[in-house]
Amino acid sequence: MSTDQAQAAVPSPWWAVARSEEVTGQKPLAVDIGGQAVVLWRDKQDVARALEDRCPHRRAPLSLGCVRDNGWIQCGYHGWSYDGETGRLKEIPNLKDQQKFPPLYRAIAFGVYETGGFVRVNLDAKTPPPRVSAKTYRLNGTAHIGVDHQNYLDALFDDPGLVVDIKGVRFTPYLMSELVVQDGMLTMERSCEWASKIWPAPFSSDFLLTILSRTHPETGETDLILRDSDLAELLRVHLSPVPAARGVTAVRWRAELGERSPPLPHSLSWGAEPFSARSSVDAAALRVLKPSVSLRSGELRAVLKSQTPAQVA
Amino acid sequence: MLDAADRVTSASLALGKTPATAPMGDANTWIPHNIRMRDTWFPLAHSTGVRSKPVRRAVYSQPYYLWREDGKAIAAEFHPNERQSRPKSEFTFADGRYPVMEHYGFVWGWYGRPEAADPAHLPSLPFLPPKGGLPGYMIGTVRFDCAAPVSLENLIDLTHADFLHADVVGDEKSESEDIEVFFDTETVTMVRTCKAKSVAPVMKLFSGISAPVQDVRQVIRIYLRSHCAIAYGRFTPGDDVPLFHPCVPETRDRTRLDFAMNTSNASPLFRHIMPRASYKVSRQDSYMTSPQSPRYMVETTRRDLHSRFDAASQRYRVQMQTLAARQEAGDLDYKDNVSADCSDIIGLRKELFRY
C-alpha cells in the first residue's frame, strides 16, 4: 500500500468538542473544529446531536436558534427545523401541512459519540465510533486559549506548566521516560516536584512526583496521571484540546483525585480545584521555550501517519 | 413544491416588455458583496441631519461630505478643511462635488457618472411628503453589519418576520397566505396577502385592536439600483404603516439605514410608538444578518435551499445580478422608470397620503 493510500485509509478523528454537561436539550451549543462550525444539542431521547452550524436555507448559524420540544433544532431566522440524526429538514413554519421535502433538503450531520463525560464529534459521519468506554471524572472545566492546536500540543510536550496547572505541583524539564509510541499513543513521563520545595530541581537527587502522559497523535487528547514515588496515583486528568476558529484552541478537561492523598503540607484537594487548563499563556516564556520533546513528537507523528490503521493499533 | 415561483407577473410584462433576467439558478449561489450599482441616487441623510457643519457618509467606501451653503445641500468628495492629497474620483464634477438633490425629506447623492444624474431616476415614494417635514419621531437611523443586499433580502423575505419578529408583528398563523412577485429591470415588488392572521402584538398593545385576527396586506418594493425599499403594511382592522427603508451600502459589508415611517394617519399612541419598533426589529434582524453576511462573501458551490415562500427573495437575487451584469457590460441606462408614481403598484390608500 502506498503512503497516500495509507493516509486515505486513516479514519477521520473523533474530537472531544464538549463536556457532556455543556450539551443540553434547552439551548444549542456552538463549537468548532478548525474552520468547521458545529452545533450540538440533545434530542428528546437525550442523545447528543451534531450538525453543521449553518442553516442550508440562508446560511444563518443554527446555534442561534432553539431546540424544540420534539428534539429537532430550529433555525432562529426562518424557523426551518432539522432532525439531528440525519440532518433532514422536517418543517417550514409557513408550509403548514405540506411538510414533505426532498432528500437534498438537509443540513450536514456529523457523527456523535459520547463517553467519559465528553461529547465527541467526527466530521465524517460514516466513521464508526471507537468501542471504548471511559470512566467519567467528576471535576471538569473548559478553557479557550489563544494558541493554535499544534503550538498547544508542543507546549504541552515541552513545558506543560505553560498550558495547564496542577495545584502545588511544579513540572521539571527532566524526563523519566522520553516520548515513545505505546499502543498508538505518544507516551512519556516527566519528573515533577512540590512547588513549595525550595531546593532547585537541577540539584535534586530524587523527584517525589512524576506525571505520565499519553497523547493521541492526531487529536492531542491526553491522559495525565500524577504519581508519587510509590507509583500511587494522586490525580488523573483527561485533557482534550480541539482546534477552534482563528487559531484558538478549545480545551475541555475532566479530572479526579487518586486513591492516595499527598502527604501534608501538600494537598490537591484544599480550596481551588486541583487541576485547571490555562486560558492564557505567558507569551514571552512560550517564545523562548526550547523545542525538545515536541521535536520528537513531530517525528513520531510523521511515522504514525505513514502507517496503516492496523499497524498503529 | 419547493421551487421558487418564477411566474411572469411583472409590471413590465403588463406593459408588453420582457425584462432581461439571469437564470433563476444563479439565485442560490450569489455573492452580494460583489455587486456595486452605479448611476443611481442614494438617500445619504435625512434633510434635518445636514446643516452647515459637514457630516460624513460613504457609498461603497467612496467619501461623501454633506453640508449646507445658504441653505442648499452640498455633497462633496473632500471635506472643506481637507487638504487634497488624493486625486479626484470619476464620481464628481471638476470641483469635486457630486450631483445632489433634496426630496422626500432626504438628501440624495448621485453615485456614478455625474453627467448622467437626473431627478427622473429618483425612486417614487408616494407616501412621503415631497418637501419633507415628517416629525422627528417618525425618522431614525439604524445600522447593519452586513451587505446592503443581504439586508434588503431580509426585508423582502417576510416569512422571517413571523418568526424572528413575532413579538412585534405577530406569528405565522393565518387562514391563508398568498405571495405574488412583480418585477421589472429596476424593481422587485412583493405582495403578501394574509387572511385572518394573528394580530401584531404592537397593534394589540398600542392601537387598541381587540380582535384576535386581522387581514394583512404587506408590500415590499425594492428599487434595485438605489438599494431603497418601501415596506407598506395595511392591517384590517388596524392602521396603514408605510416605511421607507433605504439600505445605503456605506461599504460592501456595512449598511446604513436612515428610515422614515409615516404613521401620520395612525392612532396617536401607535403613531409615536411604531417608528420606535424599528430599533427593536433591526436588532433582531442584525442578530441573524451579521453572522449570515460573511458567509456570502466567499464563493461556494453549495447552493442555498429555498421554499416557495422565498419567491420574492429569489427573484430579488436574480434581478440584482442581472442588473449588475448589465452594468458590468457597460450598459448603465435605465430600462424602466423608477420615478413613475408607484401608488397603484403598492396599493397605497391615496386618500391617506395627499401631498
Contact state of A93 with B172 under an 8 Å Cβ cutoff: yes
Residue identified by cell 412585534 is B168
User: Using the beta-carbon criterion (under 8 Å), do B295 and A105 form an inter-chain contact?
Assistant: no
Mutation target vs B (from A89, A94, A96, A100; most B CBs, 10 A cutoff): A94
Segment A291-309 mean pLDDT: 85
- Residue A289 C-alpha, separation from nearest chain B C-alpha, in angstroms: 37
For the segment A124-149, the average pLDDT, to the nearest whole number, is 91
Closest CA in chain B for residue A79: B163
Residue B291 touches partner A, C-beta closer than 8 Å: yes
| CA–CA distance, A174 with A176 (Å, rounded to integer) | 7
Measured in Å, how far apart are chain B's first and last C-alpha atoms? 44
At residue B12, the pLDDT reads 36
Q: What is the pLDDT of residues A8-48, one digit of tens each?
A: 455 689 999 999 999 999 999 999 999 999 999 999 999 99
Residues with Cβ within 8 Å of residue A287, at least 6 apart in sequence: none
For A100, what's the count of Cα atoms within 13 Å in the CB-facing half-sphere?
2
For residues B104 and B130, give the distance between their C-alpha atoms in angstroms, rounded to a whole number: 4
pLDDT band at A308 (very low <50, low <70, confident <90, very high): low
Report CB contact under 8 Å: A93, B159. yes
CA distance B131 to chain A (A): 38
- Following DSSP, what letter does each residue of B113-168 receive, concatenated? -GGG--GGGSPP-TTS-TT----GGGEEEEEESS-HHHHHHHHH-THHHHHHTHHH
Would you call A185 exposed, middle or buried from its count of C-beta atoms within 10 A (0-12, 13-18, 19+)?
middle
Question: Each residue of A184-224: pLDDT tens digit?
Answer: 999 999 999 988 877 777 777 788 899 999 999 999 999 99
For B304, which of A56, A64, A101 is closest by C-beta distance?
A56
Tell me which chain A residues have a C-beta less than 8 angstroms from the C-beta of B1.
Answer: 98, 100
B292–A77 C-beta distance less than 8 A: yes
Write down the pTM of the prediction.
0.88
CA distance A147 to chain B (A): 24
Q: Which DSSP state fits A88?
A: B
Residue B4 has pLDDT above 80, yes or no: no
Over residues B91-110, the mean pLDDT reads 97
pLDDT exceeds cutoff 50 at A3: no
- Is residue A6's pLDDT more than 80? no
Band (B2; pLDDT cuts 50, 70, 90) = very low
Between B17 and B152, name the one with better pLDDT.
Answer: B152
Cβ(A178)–Cβ(A188) under 8 Å?
yes
Answer yes or no: is pLDDT of B297 > 80.
Answer: yes
* B231 has pLDDT over 50: yes
User: Residue B174: closest CA among chain A residues belongs to which residue?
Assistant: A94
CB atoms within 10 A of CB B51: 11
Residue A143, pLDDT > 90, answer yes
Q: What is the DSSP letter of B171?
A: -
| Residue pLDDT, tens place only, A126-137 | 999 877 778 999
State CA B275 to chain mean position distance.
Answer: 16
Is B173 an 8 Å CB contact of chain A? no
DSSP assignment of A9-49 = HSPPPEEEEEEGGG--SSS-EEEEETTEEEEEEE-TT--EE
Structure confidence at residue A309 as a pLDDT band (50, 70, 90): low
- Residue A244 near residue A144, CB atoms below 8 Å: yes
CB contact at 8 A, A49 and A70: no
3-state SS, residue B291: helix
pLDDT, tens digit, 9 for 90 and up, residues B136-160: 999 999 999 999 999 999 999 878 8
Which chain A residues touch B295 with a CB distance below 8 Å?
Answer: 54, 59
pLDDT over 60 (residue B105): yes
Instruction: Give the three cell numbers for residue A120.
Output: 465527541
A54 → closest Cβ in B2, B159, B295: B295
Mutate: best of A58, A68, A81, A92, partner B, most B CBs <10 A: A58
The CB density around residue A132, as the number of other CB atoms within 10 Å, is 8
